[in-house]
């Protein structure tokens, strides 16, 4: 490599730093790809799976690349998302399968799972000194999308149940914190 | 580097690893002169050292997000710089010709009539070839051979022009005298 003029070199160095972050972010977002692959294998809905999985992967990369509280949120969101993904899938396959065809059961499983994940994330955001609501927002979105990959099995009701569960658990916490701030 | 600067570098490198872009300039400002000095010590050539220091700094910054905050940022950076220097030396070391390749068939340093004649012939041949160089090539060759003022160019541009001038000299030499390398 030939030597670069100092003014251009700073720009090149900054670009190298951002590319490095992006590569690292893509590596750290691997659970999104894993969940997408499992969802595709289980649910046989490639279009919806890849749309949701692609959004999750892009969002996770963006958050990991940005850094700071966004990275923490992506980490927590993916961890909670794995739970949100696994619970409906396991419930459908092993336990509730005979009764899960009713809309009420589907809503109960997915909504309950979303609610649990939302509570978990609210608790996890409590020790943060700053930007707790930003953390909660991004972590909830990541967890909801991850959970939705598992809820594809249940159709639109499942997807809506998961999103509503997470929203119901996190929104009051965020509003309450905002009011007290 | 004093302890305060070292601590500052550690703090800023950890912040950069977390995604704090405001820490970029402090890291850049602290590391650049240190890297140049360090690589100059290794390579003993300031121009090559600046080249390698640039590559090393790019490598350090591209890996900044993997920096472990429990480690010392300076030691971590120097490790990357040493690796960069080694790989550079390996790369260019492989490219350089071996000493035997350029060895003259016999010594021309003594004062025998044959050696004097050989020396005179060689000097005349070199003068004739250098006389055919373009003025801009001649300028960089003279600046590189004798310690005179260099043309107003960046180090990299000067090196590139010198490389081109040497390649042109070689072509002219081959055209007049053929390839007389022995091996």
Domain boundary among B32, B67, B95: B95
Which tokens belong to A138? 């991004």
Is residue B90 domain-shared with residue B34, that is, in the same domain? yes
Half-sphere exposure of B165 (CA within 13 A, CB side): 22
Cβ of A20 and B64 within 8 Å? yes
Per the structure, the count of domains in chain B is 2
Question: Which residues of chain A neighbour B16 with C-beta distances below 8 Å?
Answer: 17
Question: Which residues of chain A neighbour B62 with C-beta distances below 8 Å?
Answer: 16-17, 19-20
Question: Within the 54-73 window of chain A, which residues sit less than 8 Å (CB to CB) from chain B?
Answer: 65-68, 70-71
Choose among B19, B47, B155: nearest Cβ to A68: B19
Domain boundary among B76, B95, B114: B95
Note the pLDDT of residue B98. Answer: 46
Question: Within the 124-143 window of chain B, which residues sit less than 8 Å (CB to CB) from chain A?
Answer: none
Closest chain B residue by Cα to residue A15: B62
Look up the domain containing B152 and give its range. Answer: 100-177
Choose among B18, B54, B62: nearest Cβ to A9: B54
Choose among B18, B47, B62: nearest Cβ to A20: B62
- Asked whether residue A3 is assigned to any structural domain, the reply reads no
Nearest to A115 by CA among A60, A164, A53, A59: A164
- Asked whether residue A116 is assigned to any structural domain, the reply reads yes
Is residue B70 domain-shared with residue B105, that is, in the same domain? no
- Asked whether residue A2 is assigned to any structural domain, the reply reads no
- Asked whether residue B183 is assigned to any structural domain, the reply reads no
Asked if A78 and A146 count as a contact pair (C-beta separation under 8 A), the reply is: yes
- Asked whether residue A64 is assigned to any structural domain, the reply reads yes
Instruction: Give the contacts of A79 (CB within 8 A, at least 6 positions apart).
Output: none
Q: What is the DSSP string of B109-159?
A: -S-SHHHHHHHHHHHHHHHHHHHTS-HHHHHHHHHHHS--PPPS--HHHHH
Nearest 5°: phi and psi at B78?
A: -65, -35
Asked if A49 and A38 count as a contact pair (C-beta separation under 8 A), the reply is: no
Query: Of the given ranges (A108-122, B114-128, B160-174), which has the lowest mean pLDDT?
Result: B114-128
Domain boundary among B42, B73, B95: B95
pLDDT band at B180 (very low <50, low <70, confident <90, very high): low
Q: How far is B52 from chain A (nearest CA, A)?
A: 8
Note the pLDDT of residue A34. Answer: 92
- Asked whether residue B182 is assigned to any structural domain, the reply reads no
* Mean local confidence (pLDDT), A46-56: 90
Is residue B76 domain-shared with residue B9, that is, in the same domain? yes
pLDDT band at B182 (very low <50, low <70, confident <90, very high): very low
Asked if B61 and A23 count as a contact pair (C-beta separation under 8 A), the reply is: no
Note the pLDDT of residue A94. Answer: 63
Nearest to A17 by CA among B82, B23, B10, B75: B23
Is residue B91 domain-shared with residue B111, that is, in the same domain? no
Q: What are A6-48's pLDDT values in tens digits?
A: 678 888 999 999 999 999 999 999 999 999 998 888 877 888 8
Whichever domain contains B62, its CATH number is: 1.10.1740.10
pLDDT band at B157 (very low <50, low <70, confident <90, very high): confident
Is residue B89 domain-shared with residue B139, that is, in the same domain? no
Question: Which residues of chain B neighbour A16 with C-beta distances below 8 Å?
Answer: 58-59, 61-62
Choose among B58, B65, B154: nearest Cβ to A5: B154
Per the structure, the count of domains in chain A is 1
Separation CA A131–CA A70 (nearest Å): 10
Residue A1 has pLDDT above 50, yes or no: yes
Q: How far is B118 from chain A (nearest CA, A)?
A: 39
- Asked whether residue A32 is assigned to any structural domain, the reply reads yes
- Asked whether residue A123 is assigned to any structural domain, the reply reads yes
Asked if B13 and B73 count as a contact pair (C-beta separation under 8 A), the reply is: yes
Note the pLDDT of residue B110. Answer: 67
Closest chain B residue by Cα to residue A9: B54
Q: What are B37-93's pLDDT values in tens digits?
A: 888 887 777 778 888 889 999 999 999 999 988 888 888 888 888 888 888 887 776
Cβ of A3 and B50 within 8 Å? yes
Note the pLDDT of residue B97. Answer: 45
Separation CA B118–CA B100 (nearest Å): 20
Cβ of A66 and B28 within 8 Å? no
Look up the domain containing A122 and give its range. Answer: 18-180
Is residue B9 domain-shared with residue B53, that is, in the same domain? yes
Is residue B86 domain-shared with residue B110, that is, in the same domain? no
Note the pLDDT of residue B134. Answer: 82
- Asked whether residue A13 is assigned to any structural domain, the reply reads no
Separation CA A153–CA A45 (nearest Å): 9
Is residue B121 domain-shared with residue B71, that is, in the same domain? no
ipTM for the predicted complex: 0.75
Residue B100 has pLDDT above 70, yes or no: no
Residue B121 has pLDDT above 80, yes or no: no
Map tokens 């690292």 to a residue.
A24
pLDDT band at B101 (very low <50, low <70, confident <90, very high): very low
Overall size of chain A counted in residues: 181
């Amino acid at each position: 490599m030939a030597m670069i003029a100092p003014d251009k070199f700073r720009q090149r160095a900054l670009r190298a730093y951002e590319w490095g972050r992006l590569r690292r972010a893509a590596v750290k977002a691997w659970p999104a790809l894993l969940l997408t692959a499992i969802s595709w294998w289980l649910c046989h809905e490639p279009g919806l799976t890849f749309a949701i999985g692609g959004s999750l992967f892009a969002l996770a990369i963006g958050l990991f690349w940005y850094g700071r509280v966004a990275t923490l949120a992506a980490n927590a969101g993916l961890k909670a998302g794995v739970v949100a993904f696994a619970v409906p899938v396991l419930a459908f396959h092993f336990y509730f399968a005979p009764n899960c065809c009713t809309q009420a059961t589907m809503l109960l499983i997915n909504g309950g799972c979303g609610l649990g994940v939302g509570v978990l994330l609210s608790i996890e955001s409590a020790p943060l000194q700053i930007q707790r609501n930003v953390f909660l927002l991004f972590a909830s979105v990541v967890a909801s999308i991850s959970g939705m990959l598992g809820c594809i099995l249940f159709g639109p009701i499942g997807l809506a149940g998961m999103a509503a569960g997470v929203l119901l658990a996190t929104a009051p916490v965020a509003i309450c914190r905002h009011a007290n701030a | 580097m004093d302890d305060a600067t070292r601590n500052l570098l550690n703090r800023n490198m950890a912040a950069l690893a977390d995604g704090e872009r405001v820490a970029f300039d402090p890291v850049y400002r602290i590391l650049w002169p240190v890297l140049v000095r360090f690589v100059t010590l290794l390579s003993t050539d300031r121009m090559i050292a600046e080249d390698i220091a640039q590559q090393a700094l790019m490598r350090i910054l591209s890996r900044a997000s993997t920096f472990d905050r429990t480690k010392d940022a300076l030691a971590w950076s120097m490790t990357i710089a040493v690796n960069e220097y080694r790989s550079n030396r390996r790369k260019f070391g492989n490219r350089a010709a071996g000493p035997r390749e350029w060895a003259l068939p016999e010594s021309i340093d003594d004062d025998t009539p044959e050696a004097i004649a050989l020396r005179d012939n060689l000097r005349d041949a070199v003068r004739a070839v250098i006389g055919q160089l373009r003025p801009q090539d001649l300028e960089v060759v003279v600046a590189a051979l004798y310690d005179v003022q260099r043309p107003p160019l960046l180090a990299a541009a000067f090196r590139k022009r010198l490389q081109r001038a040497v390649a042109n000299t070689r072509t002219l030499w081959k055209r007049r005298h053929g390839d007389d390398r022995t091996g």
